Structure formats: C-alpha cells, structure tokens
Amino acid sequence: MFKQDKIIIFDTTLRDGEQAPGATMNLEEKLAVAKMLEKMGVDVIEAGFPVASEGDFHAVNEIAKIVKNSVVCGLARARENDIRKAAEAIKPAARSRIHTFIATSKIHMEYKLKMDEKQVLSAITDSVSLAKSLSDEVDWSCEDGTRTELDFLYKAIETAIKAGAGVINIPDTVGYTTPEEYFELITNIKNNVSNIDKAIISTHCHNDLGLAVANSLSAVRAGARQVECTINGIGERAGNAALEEIVMAIKTRNDFYNFTTNIDTTLISRASKLVSKATSFPVQYNKAIVGANAFAHESGIHQDGMLKNRNTYEIMTPESIGLEKSSLVLGKHSGRAAFKDRLNQLGYDLGHNALESAFARFKDLADRKKEILDEDIISLVHDGSSLEKAKYQFVDMQITTAANTSEVVLKVNIDDKEMTAAVISNNGPVDAIFKGIKNLIPHDAILELYQISAVTGGTDSQATATVRLRNGDKTITCSASDLNVLTASALAYINCLNKLK
C-alpha cells in the first residue's frame, strides 16, 4: 500500500497540446480553455511558449491576467531571451512558473544541440538560476530524459536543483519507455541524486506506444508527485498522457493508487468538448472516459446486467465526469440570462458584442432545433467567433443532387462583394461545393482531411464538418456546425481558407 498523497496536475493542453499539427487555437479559445482548467482545479496551467511568436506571448500574458487559482507557467529553452520573454509574459500571474528545458540524451546533445556534457551542465546552471531570479517557481526538464545515460542524468538533475529548480520533470519525449522501466528510472533518480529531497519529481509522457498514461501512473507509484498531461491526450504526434484518464484512474482505483488530485471530475466532459471544439480535433468514439461510447452499453447481456445492478459493467458513473442530463435544457423560449449562465458554466465569458451575436445565432438555431444542448452551444460560439471578421463569408447555396450528378450554385462574399460559382460534379455534392469554393477562392492548399460527425444524437442533430488544409509547412484544421450537413461542410472549408489567409 502507498502513502496517501496529493498529485499535482500540470496541464499542458495550451502548450504541448497546441503543438499538435493543426491544433492551433485563437486567443478567445485559449482563454476559454484556461478558465475551464482553472475551474476544474488544475494546479499548474502551462499556457504556452512565449518566445515562439507574438501571438503565443500575448496569449500567455492574457491568461496570466485572468487566472487566479492555478499557477500560470510559460515554457522556455535554456536561452536568456526565451527565459526573459517567459518571465515577462507570466508576470501578471498570482503565482507564476517558468518551465525551462534542455536535452540531455547523447543523440540530442550531439546532433541537435551540438553541445558536450560540460556545456549542457553550464547551460542548466545559467538558465535555471536566471529563471529562479525572475519567477516564483522553476520547473526544469531534461528533454529526452528516458534515453539519457543515467550518470549524466543524475549530474544534470543535481545541477538544476542546486541552481534553484523546485520541480524536476523527466520527459519521455519520444514515447519510448515502458511502465516497468520508467518506475525503475524514477526509483534510481530518488536513490542516486543527492539533493532530490529538495525537489518534486514530475512525469511528462508521450503516447507513441500507447503507454503514456500507464507510464505516468507507474512514475507516480515510484514517487513522482506531479503529472504533466493534456485534455483528450492531445499533443505532438500520438499525443500526451490524457488528464482525464490519469485523474479517473486515481479516483476509480483509489484502493490501489492511494492518491488524491484537486480536480473536480464533474467538469471533465465539458472540458473535453471545449478542447475538442477549440482545436477541431474530434474525440475518438471509444476513447477512455470521454469518448461517446465510453458509457454506452450495447450488447443484450451487458444491458441486462446494467438493469439488474449498474456495478456489473460500470466501474465509474457517467455523472462522475459530468455527463448527467442537463437539468436546464435551453430552447427557443430561453432568454439571454439563461443563455449567458450556460455559457459561463461552459467556461466562456463573452464581451457584450460577442454575447449578443452568439445569442442571435442561438435564437436562430432554437427556431430550427427543439432542444439546444451544451455541444450545440459550444459549436455556435466557436463557429461565430471565426466568422465575424472573416474575409470570405458563406452566403448561401442551391444544390441539386441525383445518384450520379450533383450541381451546386454557391454564393460567397469576398471582401463584402458577393460572388457566385456554378459547378457540376460526378463525385457527389461535397466535391461540387469544394470545387465551387476553389473556383471563387483560388489557392494551392491541399485538402488533408474532411470528416463529418453528429454534434448530438438524433436526426435533428447538427453536423460538424472538419476540414484540414496544408499549405507548405502550415497546417490548419477548422470545423463548423449546422443542421444542414452540406452547409457545415462549406463553412468549415471557408473557415480554413480564412485562417490560412
């Protein structure tokens, strides 16, 4: 049995999560996610990488101004300019942290950094002490830690702690380790780093082999007390350890993992939907905890068991992640106050104009759809925010479709001038619409993904269309929702072209 202990949840959805190709969020979306993370009880929010761009700097700075209960953290390489930028961005935070890192594995030092061990150790001392002089807390990471030679790793950690790091993060940057190996690594660090008692050990696992959550939990059992993770497990390549899986494993198997977290698990479902919408990354149906099927019991045997006693097939309740049926269903008679209240619960705090415009879209949708669910509201907020100041605006279209031929007459406003295109395609109506858009807005971007999913259940559900375009090394993913699946498709494509501009 392990000691009852609190695990610090360090969320990096807005930094490592946003680094996933195509997962870019705008400022408004980042602020909504940050507010939701704070509301959930996340201990540390890694808000971005301030030196990466003006946009990143501004987002971290704005998040630092509004978040009061979580530590706000900015990422920095072991470079003076990175660290100063991070410090400036997080300055308004009630509690601030700089997360600085340098690679320590032989392969990274030789090929990427072109530095030897002595130079890396000296960079650690300089970067951590500078960070410590500029921020309340310092988190230090040995990038590619799990592939670092042990003796050098111990030396690097000792150096970082001596320079002032209070948290030592051991990233499995390439998702290579296994639960047993990672357990042993954390144990070795505890036994061989002379000053390790002065720091908290942290985990940061990538999911290339599907082991990120198992590895993180294994590290916790070995003595790590901070877990770096993301909502829905989004992140570089196969993603990071999923926050909801870590937290629910600790809660559901508290008999085994005798730990606690600060997270209000009843906000998990909302946070997952918000991040999915903001990033246009759909959640896979069978994703643990937050997938649409995670609490669906289909087979007769399972349903029979559930009716007799829910514990036969249910190890945690949908209510524990906030999936209870909403007690207040919004519809066409709902007023501004109810709408605003629901928006606040979902993590949005819109200014006057944005609220008025979202409310108008809500009324429009409520005229066509009887019950407006949380997913509908999230969709209409996001769709609206991307449309308001757009260069290209969808106006309308007429479609005639038969088994083999589809014909579309499409109208798009381009810089406030209405343009029309007429296209016939033998490949279906979506092909006709996309060709029509390309005729009106010529571009070289390549369509990498087109996907449709239902926002809620039932045939009156809105459809969400997701489109990913690549132009050179820039990848943009956009989604849009509408009761008409073809309109949603046109809107998603046009949103992407607006973002590419």
Residue 101 interacting entry, from ligand KIV, Zn ion, none, C-beta within 5 to 8 Å by type: ligand KIV
User: Given the structure tokens 């310092």, which residue do they identify?
Assistant: 138
Q: Which of 173, 385, 489, 498 touches ligand KIV (CB under 6 A)?
A: 173
CB of 48 to Zn ion, least distance (A): 13
Q: Which of 11, 16, 82, 158 touches ligand KIV (CB under 6 A)?
A: 16
Which residues are within 8 A (CB) of 70 and not within 5 positions of it... i.e. 6 or more apart? 37, 38, 42, 43, 44, 45, 95
How are beta strands 446-454 and 463-471 bridged, if at all?
antiparallel
User: Given the structure tokens 């009156």, which residue do they identify?
Assistant: 460
Q: Which of residues 186-205 bind ligand KIV (CB under 6 A)?
A: 204
Residue 29 interacting entry, from ligand KIV, Zn ion, none, C-beta within 5 to 8 Å by type: none
CB of 263 to ligand KIV, least distance (A): 21
- Nearest-5° Cα angle at 42, 208 to 95: 115
CB of 134 to ligand KIV, least distance (A): 19
140 binds ligand KIV (CB under 6 A): no
147 binds ligand KIV (CB under 6 A): no
Residue 223 interacting entry, from ligand KIV, Zn ion, none, C-beta within 5 to 8 Å by type: none
**For residue 101, what is the DSSP state?**
E
Say how far apart CA 46 and CA 72 lie, in whole Å: 6
Q: Which of 459, 458, 455, 452 is nearest to 489 (CA)?
A: 452
CB of 149 to ligand KIV, least distance (A): 17
Coil, helix or strand at residue 265: helix
Residue 43 interacting entry, from ligand KIV, Zn ion, none, C-beta within 5 to 8 Å by type: none
CB of 204 to ligand KIV, least distance (A): 5
Residue 135 interacting entry, from ligand KIV, Zn ion, none, C-beta within 5 to 8 Å by type: none
E strand or H helix that includes residue 489:
helix 485-500
CB of 177 to ligand KIV, least distance (A): 12
User: Which residue, 222 or 241, is less far from ligand KIV as judged by CB?
Assistant: 241
Residue 369 interacting entry, from ligand KIV, Zn ion, none, C-beta within 5 to 8 Å by type: none
User: Which residue, 241 or 440, is less far from ligand KIV as judged by CB?
Assistant: 241
Handedness of CA 155, 161, 164, 168 (dihedral sign): positive
Name the residues that contact Zn ion, by CB under 5 A. 16
- Nearest-5° Cα angle at 294, 452 to 266: 105
Say how far apart CA 494 and CA 483 lie, in whole Å: 17
141 binds ligand KIV (CB under 6 A): yes
Q: 10 Å Cβ neighbour count for 398?
A: 10
CB 243 within 8 A of CB 272: no
Tell me which residues touch ligand KIV (CB under 6 A): 16, 101, 141, 143, 171, 173, 204, 206
